[in-house]
Chains A and B, each alone.
Chain A
Amino acid sequence: MRIQEYNPRDWKSHPPYTFKAYGSSIKRGPLKRLVPIQQTLSEITGPLFSDIKLEPGENDLTRDADTGKEAMGERIIVVGRVLDEDDKPVPNTLIEIWQANAAGRYRHPVDQHNAPLDPNFTGAGRCVTDEKGEYRYLTIKPGAYPWLNHPNAWRPAHIHLSLFGPSFVTRLVTQFFFPGDPLIPLDPILNSVPTKSGRERLMSSYAHDVSEPEFALGYRFDIVLRGRKATPFEESR
């Protein structure tokens, strides 16, 4: 069977499995050499969620879906495009979103940070890219968040994103950050990305063209998934 493979993971873009400054990675990252395999039908297919129907409001994290009451904090509009390495848009792909509230607290039993929960903010949302690979959602700017990785450790404000793309190998879970955040150079998780250009690719940018007067500020964050190799894999090796 002839298949058209995807490009390999770019190891200059992705973090290593273990990164000393991020303590939890030390016992949780695989240590043996990964076994290289040729992609097959198993790898170039994957879940597409093409018949997914989002509930109204899933792309609006600023209101409680049941009551319509508004969450506290600075409203932001996040837009961007999902592309592959060849600049081709990735249409109709699901994006799952989760984040802390404006005070830097997650609605999760493990989060014991002594900051207020917001009854009107769950911090979860979903959206789907359109035909041009563009997405848009409305949320609250998350606060900085303390953690126990090292003394006086704070995560810069960030939003988690999960994407599938067109295949099993295009899966991506990431986080993005906000420009001008003083905690950014101090963050071991962001610093696990081995190149400066890679770290810069996790920064959103302020988008004045997206900001809406007397309503919300706009930010743009583009996402690039693995692209497809130009020629199908030849059967004779």
Chain B
Amino acid sequence: MRKQTPSQTVGPFYSIGLTRKPMNVMATDTTQGQQIRIEGQVFDGDGVAMPDVMVEIWQANTYGRYNHPDDKQEKPLDSTFTGWGRSGTDEKCFYTFETVKPGPVPGNDESVQAPHINVVVFARGMLLHAYTRLYFADEPANASDPVLNSIKNKKRRQTLIASPGMENGKTVYRFDIRLQGDNETVFFDM
């Protein structure tokens, strides 16, 4: 068996190769589902918003189907929506995504997972990317989500919940990520 190639940091200059072109507008006007924006900042151990972070997300479409051959559900695909996006940070240290709210997707053991977005964080100083998930504060299905429920500490569970606000008629979910500290975001070993 071969061994995995080790991870290394993206370093300070990742934008040359990774974010020169915007890849954070994932939904068009014709994409099916509720149009939303996701935005937030990533904080280091001193509580400082980081200017050199890259966030990638991967999500199901509004019907709860992933655009991937291993998702064999009979739910519709949306040809205008891949489900993937990437954002660097702007001059105010914010990442943003224009997307649609995902539908619920199946979990293991006949369970159903609440609508969520899969998140990866890369930065100068991070030798290895960190995996987390974004859940929506206004989703009753969160109460029965297997991953949320596997986090026993309720305060820690709360680090995965994005809260909604309104901006020009569009729902904007704020999702800050804390790499360290009392409110360190839950990161997953998966």
Chain A residues engaging chain B, CB cutoff 8 angstroms? 1, 3-4, 8-10, 13-17, 19, 22, 24-32, 34-48, 83-87, 96-98, 100, 106-108, 110-111, 122-125, 160, 162, 167-169, 171-175, 189-190, 192-193, 197-199, 201-202, 222-227, 233, 235, 237
Residues B180 and A31 in contact, CB atoms below 8 Å apart: yes
Q: Cβ of B127: which chain A residues have Cβ within 8 Å of it?
A: 14-17, 19, 22, 25, 29, 189, 192
C-alpha gap A28/B10 in the complex (Å)? 13
**Chain B: which residue is nearest A169 at the CB level?**
B190
Q: Which of B18, B110, B113, B129 contacts A40 (CB 8 A)?
A: B113
Q: Which of B113-139 contact A (CB under 8 A)?
A: 113, 116, 118, 120, 122-131, 133
Partner of A39, one of B109, B130, B180, B190: B190
Residue from B3, B5, B151, B185 whose CB has the most chain A CB atoms within 10 Å = B5
Q: State the interface size on chain B (CB cutoff 8 A).
A: 70
Residue B12 lies at the interface, judged by CB distance under 8 Å to chain A: yes
- Asked if B35 is at the interface (CB within 8 A of a chain A CB), the reply is no
Known A16-B127, A19-B127: A193·B6 in contact at CB below 8 Å: yes
B189: A residues at CB distance < 8 A: 8-9, 34-37
User: Does A42 lie within 8 Å of B113, measured CB to CB?
Assistant: yes
B residues less than 8 Å from A198 (CB atoms): 3, 6
The answer to whether A28 touches B2 (Cβ under 8 A) is: no
Task: Assess whether B8 is in contact with A202, with CB atoms less than 8 Å apart.
Answer: yes
Q: Which 7 A-B pairs have the closest CB atoms?
A: A98-B17, A24-B125, A45-B68, A47-B84, A28-B125, A27-B45, A15-B127
Contact of A237 among B15, B109, B122, B188 (CB under 8 A): B109
Min CB distance A23 to B, Å, is: 8
Complex Cα spacing A227 to B118, Å: 20
Residue of A nearest to B51 (CB): A110
CA–CA, A36 and B185, complex, Å = 14
Does B1 have its Cβ within 8 Å of any Cβ on chain A? yes
Of residues B11, B45, B180, which shows the largest number of chain A Cβ atoms within 10 Å of its Cβ?
B11
Q: Are B5 and A172 in contact (CB under 8 A)?
A: yes
Given A97-B17, A193-B6, A198-B6, the answer on whether A38 and B108 have CB atoms closer than 8 Å is yes
Q: How does the 8 Å CB contact mask read for B1-29 relative to A, with 1 for contact and 0 for none?
A: 11111111111111111101000000000
In the complex, the answer to whether A106 meets B13 with C-beta atoms within 8 Å is: yes
> Does B105 make an interface contact (CB < 8 A)?
yes
| B13 and A233 form a contact (CB under 8 A) | no
Q: CB distance A14 to B17 under 8 Å?
A: no
Residues of chain B within 8 A (CB-CB) of A201 are 3, 5-6
- The answer to whether B184 and A14 have CB atoms under 8 Å apart is no
B71 located at the interface, meaning its Cβ lies under 8 Å from any Cβ of chain A in the complex: yes
- Alpha-carbon gap, A13 to B42, bound state (A): 26
Are A226 and B4 interface neighbours, CB within 8 A?
Answer: yes
In angstroms, Cα B9 to Cα A16, docked, is 11
Q: Which of B9, B17, B69 has the most C-beta atoms of chain A within 10 angstroms of its own C-beta?
A: B17
Q: From residue B189, how far is it (CB to closest CB) to chain A in Å?
A: 4
Residues of chain A within 8 A of B12, CB atoms compared: 108, 110-111
Flag if A28 contacts B3 (CB, 8 Å): no
- Whether A42 lies near B16 (C-beta < 8 A) is no
Contacts of B68 in A (CB 8 A): 45-46, 48, 167
B150 touches A37 (CB 8 A): yes
CB distance from B57 to the nearest CB of A (A): 10
- The chain A residue with its CB closest to the CB of B46 is A27
Name the distance in Å between A227's Cβ and chain B's nearest Cβ.
8
A-B contact pairs, 7 of them (CB 8 A): A9-B189, A17-B127, A17-B128, A29-B127, A30-B187, A167-B68, A173-B10
